[in-house]
Structure 1
Amino acid sequence: MLTEWGKQLDKSCPLSEYPRPQFVRDSYLSLNGMWQCAFTRDSTVPVQMDTAICVPFSPETPLSGVERTLKPGEYLHYRRTFALPENFNRGRVFLHFGAVDQMCTVYLNGVQVGGHQGGYTPFTLELTEALQPGENKLEVSVQDFTDENQYSRGKQKTKRGGIWYSPQSGIWQSVWLESTPVEFLEKVRITPDYDGAAVHFEFFGTDHVRTRIYDGETLVADTTDTDVPLPDFKPWSPESPFLYQVEFEACGEVIRSYFGMRKFSVGRDLDGLPRLFLNNKPYFHNGLLDQGYYPDGFLTPPANAAMAYDVTHVKRCGFNMLRKHIKMEPLLWYHYCDVQGILVWQDMINGGGHYGLEISAIPFVGITLDDRKYKTFKRTDAAARELYYQELWEMVDALYNCPCIAMWVPFNEGWGQFDSTVAYNLLKEWDPTRTVDAASGWHPCGDSDVISKHIYFTPIRVHAGDKPWLLTEFGGYALKTPGHTWNERTFGYRVYPSKEKLTAAYQKLFNKVIIPQIKTGLAATVYTQVTDVEDEINGLMTYDRQVAKIDPAVLQKINEKVKY
């Protein structure tokens, strides 16, 4: 199955747009396109690589041109050459990877320049000392054990099926080069101070930075201060997603960025009920579960326009939030949410061993397990637990500046959960500006900002407590759409025979169950899900994005009532 974007793919320069929209430097060379690759049982980079692969698509995907699975214990080796354009090198040269699954080592001209562990977060390596005039040879060696080790793997499973998806490996987000001066501005952390009517900048690499802030074309601040007052500022919200544009002038270059003035918190409404707050007011988060999968690229979108389409469609249907489920997207996806005004709950990627009914079934009989018992939750590998924290930090660090991120979700349904209170406290230390759902669904074992419930099979009854009560997964109503399914299997929590019956069931669910309980304490909803994924046919759109199973106008009319 191919999407329309996949059918039009230019394999010479796929996903070629600038990939880092909140830190735009005037230096960019995409390395996406055709590489060579080889599969071996040895870590030694082979002399001969005879298979062509379209990067950044994993070899398992149709768009890669390979469609071959990297098995546990095997190595996937990549190679391509490049030459820097004239005057590209300003002093230092860096290589960026959006994500490489699961472990990799990188070589330039035969010299090891670094590597990375963890398949979902971006990383950067310096190439300066290993560069040579003219042609340079770049090689990447990858291993991926999927669910045969306890590292983060998301929804991938060696034996896919049901809610678990096809395994994939290797480079799956953009690869690109940039050059900087010898001394340069490495990054900026931007923290809006909504109550103080100011914005705070923290600079890394140099302290000598001139900041210019714009409201459209109007200059509103020109300063070297790190705390900048913004009297009478324009707030960011889903209804009015206003973004201030910023220029950072440092070390002889100008870097462009943006930010939104918003505040996420929890509090009580006028009736004393705990609520999620946006900009100091109760705000109902009305969202969808978003897996971010595609039939032709799997985790990788066939085009950046495909990501933009999903976000725009969700907005058109009247939703104001997406729960990004067990995946970190390319940074452009968050940019689209910033611009469109879509709140994002960001899940951390799950890992651990082979967990089963002992984790997923016990909560239905009212039992909560202690996540400090690593054996119970299949988290016995100490190195994998440490890597989880490293990846968690990398995710927060990469996404910290995004106005759209409203909540962090470190664990989901007990999958590889451990020490959730530790994760909660780390997130609050690293980022006190956002709320945290420490254990989405079940097995709450300590600190969290919310009460989080997944309810698919039993009646939905809200029991307001001392924290906002969130329905963080529900629904999953399914409809098979002939000609638009990935295979002949059918997975959904309730299957309907027609679009009309699906629509009627959805309307009844919201009008009779969801909307009436908002006034009694329901503070947010996450309906499953944006699109079909492999066996799952419970999306509001088909997997290829060709068919809307419920008319957007119907959804918009319902969503007008899903609020305080």
Structure 2
Amino acid sequence: MRLSLGIVTGFLGLKSFAASENTVKPRQINGTDYKVGFTPLKTNWTDTVGTSPWPEYPRPRMQRPKWKNLNGVWRYRNTTDSSLESPPFGQALEKPVLVPFCLESALSGVTGKNRIWSWYQTSFDVPSSWKASGNSVLLNFGAVDYEATIFVNGHKAGFHRGGYFEFSVDVTSYLKANGANELLVYTFDPTDMDKVQIPIGKQSLWRSDMIWYTPCSGIWQTVWLESTPTEHIAKIDLVADMHGQVNVTVHSNSNSNIAYEITVHELNSDDAKKIANGITGTPFIFTVDSPQLWTPDTPTLYNISIRYGSDIVQSYTGFRTVSRGVIGNVQRPLLNGEFVFPFGTLDQGYWPDGIYTAPSVEAMSYDLKVLKNVGYNMVRKHVKVEPALYYRACDEMGILVIQDMPSLRPQVDGVGQLDPAAQPEFNRQLALLVEQLKSYPSIFAWTIYNEEWGQATSPPWPEFGLSDMVRSLDPTRLINAVSGWWDHGAADFMDNHHYTTPQCGTPLWYNYDPADTSGHNAGYDPSRIGLQGEFGGIGTKVDFNHSWYKTLDGQSAYKLADDILHWNYLAGNLLTQLREQVEEFACSGGVWTQTTDVEGEVNGMMTYDRSIIRMNTTMFKDEIQALYAAAAKRANKTETE
């Protein structure tokens, strides 16, 4: 069935430079030989992407007016490890590639396999007004998987490791006084070859069962230039709570301690609601009187301006407080001091045409609108990090996010074996994840480990120290140390994975024993919040017009229904069971698997191409509201008992 969505049609009035008259956005068209590559399955957006993809300003929490989008057709060469010693300066690389789509995707035009070492090439001009100002020019990358070495006009300008994280390179000193500048990017992405253990989520070069997917290599998020003063804002950490208290740290590129001015604007206005002054590099706290609070039902956001010398950036925030507390002897997650029942889907974020990258912001937002339309108030972003515009969409729509850390490869030579060298890098990148995303109001909780993937299976258990690290970086959110099993009692959640029968907040199936390391610790620990971290997993075989694999044997799920009618029947039964566990036990949240089909895994709310919505939307709306009502009734009942 198709769904007509009469809800959020765009971003809700936050300031954006995407259409500003000051925006400079010519595209890079390096040759005319680009075309979409082969894909077994298209979406409704595949053929609308063109050669100017993702034109929106890509960093909504720190926007500047002078910027230039470098997405478009670049040149590409598949290469070898040794080629980094002799970069192809001044050469025309052989193949076209559409940035920002990873090399394995149809939309990249490459659609390659085993793209371990790669060269990208493009050229760019710097607007004359930027040169005249004497400002710096920053080259920004949303994400490159896995390592990126940057060359500008024959000079090595920067290096970055970590396939999910944004980074910037100051290229001012490498620019030509006049004319085009050559940009080369060398990427290395081993994924899971040869026992390598790096954060990869569900990417795999060699696994073929249903829960491992096509890898994503190279540039897969927007690349852009921006003009900044020599002394400028490098990062903003900002959180605002239910009492109107704003805690902000403005970091400068020089780590100096200089005054700045911050303005919180009235809703839908340029008028100032509050003006305050702080010092860069130092946490600064001030209070805004009587703010409207951010909740999933009322996702109110406030525009913010920060002036640091001649650098002016636009940002935003929502006022809300995430915590946990005991209500009627049950540990509950709290939003603004009240028990909220977070209920959403396992959100993989894969696309048949773009793999890791949606064809457009419109396509990316469509998934969230479908979920919001039936009443889901949360997504668990599963072992992947999305572009910043995804989190802005969640902020604006009122969708809570449980954000997973991308997992290490689960096995090396045996179940649960961990390469000792992998742990320090995992720890470093976990810190990058928190630092990059901790200012988005929609982020509700962090997940460190999914099941046993890359988790050490002998003491000392790493999740205790990592929970402490995450808490030190972000004390404003909850932490799910281990989603699924091999749980030893760390952090805020007791998280169970059980597909065919939910087991949320109840001791009926298993008793929790933190000393037991021999199997799944899937019981209930009353000292923490009971969460059904994954359940459902029901699927149906899909017509080949809407399936990644063109054989029925290639389609699988944890449980297959005969058709969509029976799929909804089984789904209704599972939702009823979860509601009963809310009513009778200590269930405080749930995650349905999953938003969409992914490749051979056919258990989504929608097919992989987003063309068929399996949900009986009336039934799902009723059942989800019944869950919320049961949680509210249980909270009120236990408070008065």
Distance 2:623 2:407 in 1: 33
Q: 1:558 aligns with which of 623, 627, 631?
A: 623
Task: Name the structure 2 match of 1:460.
Answer: 503
Root-mean-square deviation (CA, aligned residues, Å) is 1.6
Secondary structure of residue in 1 paired with 2:130: coil
Task: Name the structure 2 match of 1:402.
Answer: 440
Higher alpha-carbon deviation: 19-28 or 550-559: 550-559
Task: Name the structure 1 match of 2:307.
Answer: 249
Task: Name the structure 2 match of 1:421.
Answer: 464
Distance 1:272 1:355 in 2: 42
- 1:238 partner amino acid: P
Distance 1:416 1:115 in 2: 26
Task: Name the structure 1 match of 2:356.
Answer: 299
Distance 2:366 2:452 in 1: 32
Task: Name the structure 1 match of 2:180.
Answer: 135
- 2:192 partner amino acid: D
For these two proteins, the number of residue pairs brought into alignment is 539
Task: Name the structure 2 match of 1:351.
Answer: 408
How far is the alpha carbon of 1:540 from its aligned partner?
A: 0.4
Task: Name the structure 2 match of 1:478.
Answer: 539
Q: Mind listing any 5+ residue stretches in structure 2 that lack a counterpart?
A: 1-40, 279-283, 457-461, 508-523, 632-641
Task: Name the structure 1 match of 2:493.
Answer: 450
Secondary structure of residue in 1 paired with 2:372: helix
Distance 2:266 2:542 in 1: 46
1:182 corresponds to 2:233:
no
Q: Is the contact made by 2:201 and 2:409 (CA closer than 8 Å) also made in structure 1?
A: no
- 1:221 partner amino acid: K
Q: Is the contact made by 2:352 and 2:608 (CA closer than 8 Å) also made in structure 1?
A: yes
What are the within-5 Å matches in structure 2 for residues 264-413 of structure 1?
264-269=322-327, 271-352=328-409, 354=411, 359=415, 377-382=416-421, 384-413=422-451
- 2:394 partner amino acid: C
Task: Name the structure 2 match of 1:56.
Answer: 100
- 1:97 partner amino acid: F
**Which of structure 1's runs of 4+ aligned residues deviate more than 6 A?**
none
Task: Name the structure 1 match of 2:582.
Answer: 518
Distance 1:281 1:390 in 2: 34
Distance 1:171 1:455 in 2: 36
Distance 2:353 2:95 in 1: 19
Secondary structure of residue in 2 paired with 1:437: strand
Higher alpha-carbon deviation: 278-287 or 481-490: 481-490
Task: Name the structure 1 match of 2:274.
Answer: 221
Higher alpha-carbon deviation: 552-561 or 219-228: 219-228
Distance 1:522 1:240 in 2: 24
Secondary structure of residue in 2 paired with 1:398: helix
Q: Is the contact made by 1:479 and 1:495 (CA closer than 8 Å) also made in structure 2?
A: yes
- 1:343 partner amino acid: L
Q: Mind listing any 5+ residue stretches in structure 1 that lack a counterpart?
A: 360-376
What are the within-5 Å matches in structure 2 for residues 19-30 of structure 1?
19-30=58-69
- 2:481 partner amino acid: A
Task: Name the structure 1 match of 2:281.
Answer: none
Task: Name the structure 2 match of 1:146.
Answer: 191
Task: Name the structure 2 match of 1:434.
Answer: 477
Q: Is the contact made by 2:114 and 2:205 (CA closer than 8 Å) also made in structure 1?
A: no
Normalising by structure 1, we get a TM-score of 0.93
Deviation sequence 1:40-76 (CA, Å, 0-9, x none): 22323234411011011112111011111234xx420
Secondary structure of residue in 2 paired with 1:337: helix
- 1:312 partner amino acid: K
Q: Is the contact made by 1:185 and 1:251 (CA closer than 8 Å) also made in structure 2?
A: no
Task: Name the structure 1 match of 2:127.
Answer: 85
Q: Is the contact made by 2:502 and 2:535 (CA closer than 8 Å) also made in structure 1?
A: no
Q: Is the contact made by 2:596 and 2:608 (CA closer than 8 Å) also made in structure 1?
A: yes
Distance 2:425 2:419 in 1: 13
Q: Is the contact made by 2:137 and 2:171 (CA closer than 8 Å) also made in structure 1?
A: yes
Deviation sequence 1:232-259 (CA, Å, 0-9, x none): 2211100111111111122223211111
Q: Is the contact made by 1:355 and 1:415 (CA closer than 8 Å) also made in structure 2?
A: no
Task: Name the structure 2 match of 1:370.
Answer: none
- 2:539 partner amino acid: A
Task: Name the structure 2 match of 1:6.
Answer: 46
Q: Is the contact made by 1:420 and 1:446 (CA closer than 8 Å) also made in structure 2?
A: no
Higher alpha-carbon deviation: 525-534 or 553-562: 553-562
Task: Name the structure 2 match of 1:158.
Answer: 205
Deviation sequence 1:467-499 (CA, Å, 0-9, x none): 111000011100123121111311101101211
Does the C-alpha gap of structure 1 residues 557 and 106 become closer, same or farther in structure 2, counting only changes over 3 Å? Answer: same
Distance 2:73 2:617 in 1: 38
Secondary structure of residue in 1 paired with 2:569: helix
Deviation sequence 1:319-346 (CA, Å, 0-9, x none): 0000000100000000000000000000
Does the C-alpha gap of structure 1 residues 33 and 75 become closer, same or farther in structure 2, counting only changes over 3 Å? Answer: same
How far is the alpha carbon of 1:381 from its aligned partner?
A: 3.8
- 2:64 partner amino acid: R
1:69 corresponds to 2:120:
no
- 2:202 partner amino acid: K
Deviation sequence 1:89-115 (CA, Å, 0-9, x none): 441111111111111211001100111
- 2:339 partner amino acid: P
Task: Name the structure 2 match of 1:260.
Answer: 318
Deviation sequence 1:504-554 (CA, Å, 0-9, x none): 11111112x111111220001000000000000000011111111113232
Normalising by structure 2, we get a TM-score of 0.82
How far is the alpha carbon of 1:458 from its aligned partner?
A: 5.4
Does the C-alpha gap of structure 1 residues 126 and 378 become closer, same or farther in structure 2, counting only changes over 3 Å? Answer: farther
- 1:540 partner amino acid: M
Task: Name the structure 1 match of 2:637.
Answer: none
Distance 1:61 1:254 in 2: 37
- 1:83 partner amino acid: D
Distance 2:625 2:353 in 1: 34
How far is the alpha carbon of 1:446 from its aligned partner?
A: 4.3
Q: Is the contact made by 1:60 and 1:67 (CA closer than 8 Å) also made in structure 2?
A: yes
Task: Name the structure 2 match of 1:363.
Answer: none
Q: Is the contact made by 2:502 and 2:532 (CA closer than 8 Å) also made in structure 1?
A: no
How far is the alpha carbon of 1:398 from its aligned partner?
A: 1.1
Distance 1:421 1:211 in 2: 37
Higher alpha-carbon deviation: 146-155 or 323-332: 146-155
